[in-house]
Amino acid sequence: MRQFKQVLEEEILPNVKKPLRYLGNEYNVVKKDWKAVKLRSLFAFPDVYEVGMSHLGLQILYGLVNEETDYLMERVFAPWPDMEKELRTRGLSLYSLESLRPIADFDCIGFTLQYEMSYTNILNMLDLGKIPLRAEERGNEFPLIIAGGPCAYNPEPLADFIDLFVLGEGEEVILEIYAVIAKHRAIRQGKQDKEVLLKELAQIRGVYVPKFYETFYDQQGKFLGVKVKEPGVAPYVVKRVVKDLDQAYFPLRPIVPYLEVVHDRMMLEVLRGCSRGCRFCQAGFLYRPVRERSKELLLQQAERLSENTGHNEISLTSLSTSDYSCVESLLREALNRFQQKKIGVSLPSLRVDSFSVNLAKEVQRVRKTGLTFAPEAGTQRLRDVINKNVTEENLMEVTEAVFREGWTQLKLYFMLGLPTETLADLDGIADLATKVLHRAQEILREIGSKQRPKITVSVSSFVPKPQTPFQWEPQDSLEVLQEKQKYLGNRIKGKRINYNYHESELSFLEAVFAKGDRRLGAVLYEAWHLGCRFDGWSEHFRYDLWREAFERTGVVPEEIANKALTYHDALPWDHLQTGVKKDYLWQEREKAYALATTGDCRFAPCTVCGICQDLDVSMSLKKGE
């Protein structure tokens, strides 16, 4: 141990970029005695430290587990390629930041699945930890490999590699899982009998053990479904959900990184879930129902967080913070309370309306930040299709308010390749951007500003996601996506509008892994073997290697990403349930084609999506309580 630490600090870290990624001495880090606990777990984030440490879920689970006397949780992140090389040339194992132990020493390792394009990093981390990649190759001496997070709602591409998936909100279920593992090991003097343990774990609600299920295909290779094969295991797995956000655990002593991370601030989680019902948005369907945290509790948490972290900014995080029913008073009180300490408050997500601009204006009392709005589509017709209830009028109001208040830049997010999209919709994006620019110029002239406005149009490609009304939709082919990107580029004129778009090959692979079944396991293995890592980072993304991997394994990715599915087609995630009914999703899809919008159940009647009917939960708004 001492020897490894010495090699690490004397020989390895001086050679790598950002050595602090690989040391766990941050403020509020928890280092527990391994002999004093019954279970040693490792939180594994399959991306670089700065990304992983910005993830609130990590801080929640880390705090929750480490507050338990019997368990400990440490951390590991994907090593950047320079560090990977250092470890491999010395034959050293990937290690945990807290105790610098090889990751294979832990009882269980939990990966978070935030993004499909981090999957090769999972394989690479296991390999660097000298742990066999495939679940069936791992005997009783190896840690149990767990995964959770949004991509676990279709985890089939990872089914070969992961022992068990957790569906839903981790803080609700993790201690139940740990209790079973700890008890199992206690009975067996610290050893595990993986077969027996997995069967025990499969009894916990929200736990999906893929080896207990099998997939069926017809002779042409068409996917026919997933069925349970193990007696005593449930045919369907339903997500776990926190009922009351005020009662849920929240970490008041989060780790404060030394290194500048992506979100370098205190995070207050004001609400969970979103019922706006945008039909492309997976988060909107995964995290229902909307549950708010009370303002008083949030302010108390903010006080504790500022005492315990020393951060100079508080972020009010959620899927849509301007929808928080007490947002105005929370913001005002937080600003008043923290202004003297020069602690700013920020809102990461804003709705396209003047109410949100007023909030943004309040926020500027301490620090000035950029503003981003997401109309998502260029015409009212297409916005109705996707149920993004934003009008051109809303956007013009926002533009007026923003530039009148002194901002000179505005960023607009759009999506390209949405179902039913035509060239007219792309023209709409260009027209909208031009109108926004002209309006901005008018306002700046009117208020006598000498500055010139800058509009950024940022365009991503539509990726059909499981558990959404668009799960049956095909993605545009790569060629079409690229043509559309080019077309739009030609339509956007003038140097005051900055146009950028996401790499279409990446969106294509995202669609493949979002919708694929277990046959993708072989592709993933092959891609990793060929050297794919950090696919979400354009400097490391190797589309040529991915093509090679598909060819070698005989999987045709276009048949997954670009194929329209019907209501009767089996889906690889049919056995995994969010609580929103499949029939409801289909009905929403039908409404999309009929240009019919659906209201938000916070302000309009219940849409009977199934969540409050089938799960023992309900929407919780704090206003007026």
Partner 1 sequence: MLLCLQYSKEEEARFLSHLDLMTAMERAFRRAQLPLAFSEGFNPHPRISYASALAVGVTSEGEYLDLELEEDLAADEVWKRLQNFLPQGLKVLAVVPVTKRKESLMAIINMARYHVENPLLQAIRQQDVEKMINDALSLAEWVVVRQGKKGVREVDIRPGVYRLQGRIEKKLILEMDVQTGSSGNVKPEEVLEILQRVSSFPWGKNIRVHRLGLFIREGDKIWSPLERS
Q: Which of 93, 294, 308, 372 binds partner 1 (CB under 8 A)?
A: 308
What is the distance of C-alpha 451 from the center of its chain? 37
The footprint of partner 1 on this chain (CB under 8 A) covers a number of residues equal to: 28
Binding of partner 1 by 409 (CB under 8 A): no
DSSP alpha helix (H) spans, 93-203: 119-128, 170-187, 194-201
Q: At its nearest, how many Å lie between partner 1 and the CB of residue 25?
A: 4
* C-alpha distances in Å from residue 393, one per residue of 203, 252, 622: 52, 42, 30
Binding of partner 1 by 368 (CB under 8 A): yes
Q: Which of 85, 229, 367, 493 binds partner 1 (CB under 8 A)?
A: 367
Q: At its nearest, how many Å lie between partner 1 and the CB of residue 22?
A: 9
Rounded-to-integer distance, Cα 174 and Cα 179, Å = 9
Binding of partner 1 by 179 (CB under 8 A): no
Name every residue whose Cβ is closer than 8 Å to that of residue 179 and which is 6 or more positions away in sequence.
Answer: none
Binding of partner 1 by 256 (CB under 8 A): yes
Which of 600, 623, 591 minimizes the C-alpha distance to 275? 600
The footprint of partner 1 on residues 310-329 (CB under 8 A) is 310-312
Q: At its nearest, how many Å lie between partner 1 and the CB of residue 30?
A: 12
Stretch that binds partner 1, among 120-128, 257-265, 288-296, 617-625 (CB under 8 A): 257-265
Residue owning tokens 């090769």: 120
Q: Which of 26, 105, 362, 574 binds partner 1 (CB under 8 A)?
A: 26
Q: At its nearest, how many Å lie between partner 1 and the CB of residue 76?
A: 18
The nearer residue to partner 1, 341 or 445, going by C-beta atoms, is: 341
Q: Which of 342, 438, 493, 547 binds partner 1 (CB under 8 A)?
A: 342
Q: What is the DSSP letter of 80?
A: P
Q: At its nearest, how many Å lie between partner 1 and the CB of residue 31?
A: 10
Which of 621, 617, 620 minimizes the C-alpha distance to 240? 617
Q: At its nearest, how many Å lie between partner 1 and the CB of residue 344?
A: 9
Q: Which of 195, 214, 296, 307 binds partner 1 (CB under 8 A)?
A: 307
Q: Which of 1, 2, 3, 10 binds partner 1 (CB under 8 A)?
A: 10
Binding of partner 1 by 503 (CB under 8 A): no
Binding of partner 1 by 134 (CB under 8 A): no
Q: Which of 27, 236, 567, 593 binds partner 1 (CB under 8 A)?
A: 27
The nearer residue to partner 1, 346 or 379, going by C-beta atoms, is: 346
Name every residue whose Cβ is closer than 8 Å to that of residue 188 and which is 6 or more positions away in sequence.
Answer: none
The footprint of partner 1 on residues 67-96 (CB under 8 A) is none
Name every residue whose Cβ is closer than 8 Å to that of residue 43 and which is 6 or more positions away in sequence.
Answer: 58, 61, 62, 73, 74, 75, 76, 110, 112
Which of 317, 319, 396, 406 minimizes the C-alpha distance to 368? 406
Binding of partner 1 by 1 (CB under 8 A): no
Which of 236, 199, 209, 251 minimizes the C-alpha distance to 60? 251
The nearer residue to partner 1, 255 or 326, going by C-beta atoms, is: 255
Structure token pair of residue 292 = 């708010």
Q: At its nearest, how many Å lie between partner 1 and the CB of residue 11?
A: 6
Which of 285, 286, 297, 284 minimizes the C-alpha distance to 323? 284
The footprint of partner 1 on residues 459-488 (CB under 8 A) is none
The nearer residue to partner 1, 14 or 232, going by C-beta atoms, is: 14
The nearer residue to partner 1, 167 or 371, going by C-beta atoms, is: 371
Stretch that binds partner 1, among 9-17, 72-80, 432-440, 609-617 (CB under 8 A): 9-17
| Burial call 386-399: b when 16+ CB within 10 Å, e when fewer | bbbbbebebbebbb
Q: Which of 99, 124, 275, 309 binds partner 1 (CB under 8 A)?
A: 309
Stretch that binds partner 1, among 130-138, 185-193, 305-313, 436-444 (CB under 8 A): 305-313
**SS3 state at 300:** helix
The nearer residue to partner 1, 113 or 343, going by C-beta atoms, is: 343
The nearer residue to partner 1, 309 or 318, going by C-beta atoms, is: 309
The nearer residue to partner 1, 258 or 567, going by C-beta atoms, is: 258
Q: Which of 88, 188, 341, 445 binds partner 1 (CB under 8 A)?
A: 341
Which of 251, 292, 303, 287 minimizes the C-alpha distance to 270? 292
The nearer residue to partner 1, 13 or 480, going by C-beta atoms, is: 13
Stretch that binds partner 1, among 14-22, 82-90, 391-399, 499-507 (CB under 8 A): 14-22
* C-alpha distances in Å from residue 211, one per residue of 88, 142, 485, 553: 31, 17, 42, 21
**SS3 state at 64:** helix
Rounded-to-integer distance, Cα 46 and Cα 13, Å = 20
Rounded-to-integer distance, Cα 24 and Cα 13, Å = 13
Rounded-to-integer distance, Cα 374 and Cα 329, Å = 25
Q: At its nearest, how many Å lie between partner 1 and the CB of residue 82?
A: 14
Q: At its nearest, how many Å lie between partner 1 and the CB of residue 269?
A: 21
What is the distance of C-alpha 17 from the center of its chain? 26
Burial of 137 from C-beta contacts in 10 A (0-12 / 13-18 / 19+) = exposed
Measured in degrees and rounded to the nearest 5, phi and psi for residue 192 equal -120, 150
* C-alpha distances in Å from residue 108, one per residue of 103, 119, 188: 9, 18, 16
Binding of partner 1 by 23 (CB under 8 A): yes
Q: At its nearest, how many Å lie between partner 1 and the CB of residue 342?
A: 5
The nearer residue to partner 1, 134 or 342, going by C-beta atoms, is: 342
Binding of partner 1 by 20 (CB under 8 A): yes
Which of 43, 37, 39 minimizes the C-alpha distance to 78? 43
List residues near partner 1 by CB under 8 A: 9-11, 13-14, 19-20, 23, 25-27, 29, 256, 258-260, 306-312, 341-342, 366-368
